[in-house]
Amino acid sequence: MRKRKLMPVALTIAGSDSGGGAGIQADLKTFSALDVHGTSAITCITAQNPGSVSGIQACRAKLLSSQLDAVFLGFQPAAAKTGMLYSAQIIRVVAQFFDRHPMNLVVDPVMVSTSGARLLKQSAVEALLNRLVPLATLVMPNLHEAEVLAGKRIRSVENLRTAARQINRRFGCAALVKGGHLEGLKVAVDIFYDGKQELLLSAPFIVGLRTHGTGCTYSAAVTAYLARGCSLTRAVQQAKQYITQAIARSRKAGSHEVLGW
């Protein structure tokens, strides 16, 4: 009997999105689409759709720790990502887990939802920056998050480049700064910098689409490619292609656009 090939395993640590377009749900869809077995640890349950977040219930620290231990014991994932963490207590639990079990870690420093709701308490920002981001292989901030991490305003592609280098120097991890919300550009530009190599990743804007969960999906794709054994630079390049195609394949579900995983 031929030996069956082992499936790569990835872990997502994030909040549950009841609308199915972001968070844990988006991550697991992305892992599956890229032929990676997805495991999860839920940090929060949210009541939301792409238009609003109407409720958040954080998971107890002990239960979150039990989820992480159970996943590691049963699957030993090759790569992991974090999304919505919400509180300093949750961040400490997650950081302690990666202290014990180092692996490829992609941090999506989620702070505010697409609809404008705060997904990270202000009191937790310091814990995110000082405790978790330094453990990351890669941090993937959007414009607002990059301004917090780099401590400066970003208004141009050159600012993106500077921010990526400052984040790398400050935290010691690679940075992929997403410039999709930069005004006045005809393409969506992201800058990757790992201390040695810089990549400019670009794709045409798709006019008329307002998608939800692109950041979650993008970071999940990087995580999946790392779990499959890709180098970090290869993983971010492949993930950029994947998220661009997912946006292009977006379809209507109810009254909202959803990504085409």
Catalytically annotated residues: 178, 211, 213-216
- Picking from 156, 60, 56, the residue whose alpha carbon sits closest to that of residue 112 is 56
Tokens linked to 28: 């697991």
Tell me if 214 sits within 8 A of 221, measured CB to CB.
no
Tokens linked to 2: 């031929």
Q: Quote the CA–CA distance of 68 and 73 in Å, as a whole number.
A: 9
Q: Quote the CA–CA distance of 177 and 50 in Å, as a whole number.
A: 23
Helices (H) and strands (E) in the chain, counts: 8, 11
- Beta carbons within 8 Å of 59's beta carbon, 6+ residues apart: 42, 43, 44, 45, 67, 90
Tell me if 24 sits within 8 A of 67, measured CB to CB.
no
Torsion of CA 38, 40, 45, 50, to 10 degrees: -30
Q: Quote the CA–CA distance of 189 and 106 in Å, as a whole number.
A: 19
Three-state SS for 228-241 is CCCCHHHHHHHHHH
- Beta carbons within 8 Å of 200's beta carbon, 6+ residues apart: 157, 189, 190, 191
